[in-house]
A and B are shown apart, each in its own frame.
Chain A
Amino acid sequence: MISCHKIWKVYNKGKPYEVIALEDISLLIEDGSSVAIQGPSGSGKTSLLSILGAIDRPSNGKVFINDIEITSLSEDGLTNIRRRIGFVFQQFNLIPRLRAWENMVIPLIPLGVDEKTRKKKAFQLLEMVGLDERVFHRPEEMSGGEQQRIAIARALINDPLILILDEPTSNIDTETAETILFILKEMRSKGKTIIISTHDERVTGIADKVFMLKKGRVIG
């Protein structure tokens, strides 16, 4: 279960150009459920997902994942949490100089997984996302939709309990969006907790719960 209590995120605090990205957010996400976070640009969706994904800290408030208060954890403590979460960034965040399969196995390197197993896992997931012909391609040699699928495959490589996706269907073609929706349904059927920020009605359609964000506040 993921819960957050009175979360605030303020950028450039105390400075003239201070930005309040999140304001007093509290929400509860049950294990195995799918949650969509909707809202216009600049409403704080990415900030909220980053905090829930343990890759950023809130300015105030508490976040619990499976009863562990992650806001008070050290960097290494947060790493242990991150290892249970698959995160798909809005900008994909693939490393340009790495090939598709090499990008995918980054999470496995510090876990001591040998290269043979890493390759095997990567190839299986590439097949699942329909990119088995792109194994040795670099991000610049792939379309946005293909990069998105690589990013999703990377998020799944650790077999995480929680999957967080930041606008996974924006700026991609309909066919790729359909593939991603199919993968999300698959993950949902496997009992994974899925948190997605999106504008896409097709994505919200598979969610158990939808949170509406506006100007950093939950409005519905």
Chain B
Amino acid sequence: MRHLNLLNTALNNLIRYPVRSVVIVVCLVALLLPFLSGMAVLEGVKADSLISVQEGADIYLTMDMYGRNGVIPLEMAELVKNIEGVVKVIPRAISRIYVGDRLAVLLGIPVENITETISFIKGRPPMGGEVVIGKRLAEDLGVGVGKSVSLGVRIIGIVDGVPYVVRREFNISGIFDARVGIWTSNLILMNLQDVISLYEMEGFVTDMAIYVKPGYSGKVSEELQKMNSYFRIQTKELVNAYIERGFNTRGGIFLILYTVAFSIAIPAIAVSSGLGLSERRKEIGIFKALGWRTIDVIEMVFLESIFISLMSVPITFMLSFLWLKILNGVFIAQIFIPGAGIFPPFSVPSLFFHLPVIMAFLLSLVITLVGSISTTWKASIVPPVEAMR
């Protein structure tokens, strides 16, 4: 019954001091909102990446060049097709490219594979000298089907301190729907042969996407390695592991940075939670004089902190949900998705997991406790007369 009484008193205290309670909750929400939203975007992007990998090829094949991924002869595609278990091989040429000032991804694949990769809104697949681009990119550039676009292919030198970029004009043959995924928003698709010619890499592609029968991934990888020891083979499992590790590291760094920010914010919260501190101190003195033990006072303040945290976290969760789902992660998405910009041109993926929510609760609890327990403790251990003074 004693605990229940203290619980009741704690809850009533929050109601009796509405300004103090609201200020603390607002401070906590302001601190927790970027954290919870950031973690949700991070998880969303991670999940999106994993789905993309899952829906993509089973094996990505490149060749070792100076210890990195290098180009691979196009003729290898025929040899790879003959390996038992291989269903399909798509040679690809991928590069970064400038469209005006905007950096985009250029993907060259055989024209028959283009139609199965994207859904057209307008136009048709590209023929020689043509490209297809995403709807949002087309809107940003103010171009459409039948118009031309200038692509900065590569830097060939520095003129007057400015990189000189070789540009080529291409006609736009089609527009595809690129609003749905973060990976397609900056994508420009071209016929494989055109990209090879553009980069003057006749007979070579950057990689090959290999699709295999279920259960053949390991066996095909072994065969590929036997075929050429310079092959760099990335299976779906390996790519998944890279993604997991990459995002977990990024999440960990974000968490550490946030903890640092939190520890800096603690004094600010301490000041906020100390609103009406002299009034509070006097109250504690009265409680002590009337037969409360120090532990009773501490328990009551601890319960107040729990209530404050319990109020802050759902509010933060709702605001975070609105920020990501309604405002599409404006401002925050660019931290986790390079090139997303302030107003992301695609639907920002986000996933709310229980762990960040629990962490947000614990962080807010730590902050409110640090802000309140020490002042309460100081007021509790002195003779009541002193605290009441």
Contact = CB atoms under 8 A, between A and B. Distances in A.
Interface of A: 50, 53, 55-57, 75-76, 79, 82-83, 87, 89, 93, 95, 97-98, 106-107, 109-115, 154, 158
A111 B2 contact: yes
Nearest to B17: A97
Interface of B: 1-2, 5-6, 8-9, 16-17, 282-283, 286-296, 380-381, 383-386, 388
Nearest to B388: A93
A50 B385 contact: yes
A110 B2 contact: yes
Nearest to B2: A112
A110 B383 contact: no
A83 B290 CA distance: 7
A28 B265 CA distance: 55
B385 A114 contact: no
A50 B290 CA distance: 12
Contact of B5 (A76, A87, A110): A110
Contacts of B289: 53, 55, 82, 87, 89, 93
Contact of A83 (B287, B291, B384): B291
Nearest to A47: B385
17 contacts: A53-B289, A55-B384, A56-B386, A76-B295, A89-B289, A89-B388, A93-B388, A98-B16, A107-B290, A109-B6, A110-B2, A110-B6, A110-B292, A110-B296, A112-B1, A113-B5, A154-B290
Contacts of A56: 383-386
Given A97-B17, A109-B5, A57 B383 contact: yes
Contact of A79 (B9, B288, B385): B288
A98 B17 CA distance: 11
Contacts of B294: 75-76
A136 to B, nearest CB: 14
> Which 4 pairs between the two chains have the least Cβ-Cβ distance?
A112-B2, A112-B1, A83-B291, A56-B385
Contacts of A111: 2, 291
A95 B283 contact: yes
A93 B283 CA distance: 9
Residue picked from B1, B289, B380, B381, most chain A C-beta under 10 Å: B289
Contact of B293 (A93, A97, A110, A158): A110
A109 B385 contact: no
B293 to A, nearest CB: 5
Contacts of A106: 286-287, 290, 292
B5 A55 contact: no
A53 to B, nearest CB: 8
Residue picked from A55, A87, A97, A112, most chain B C-beta under 10 Å: A55
Given A112-B2, A113-B5, A114-B1, A75 B381 contact: yes
A114 B6 CA distance: 11
B383 A55 contact: yes
Given A55-B383, A55-B385, A109 B293 contact: no
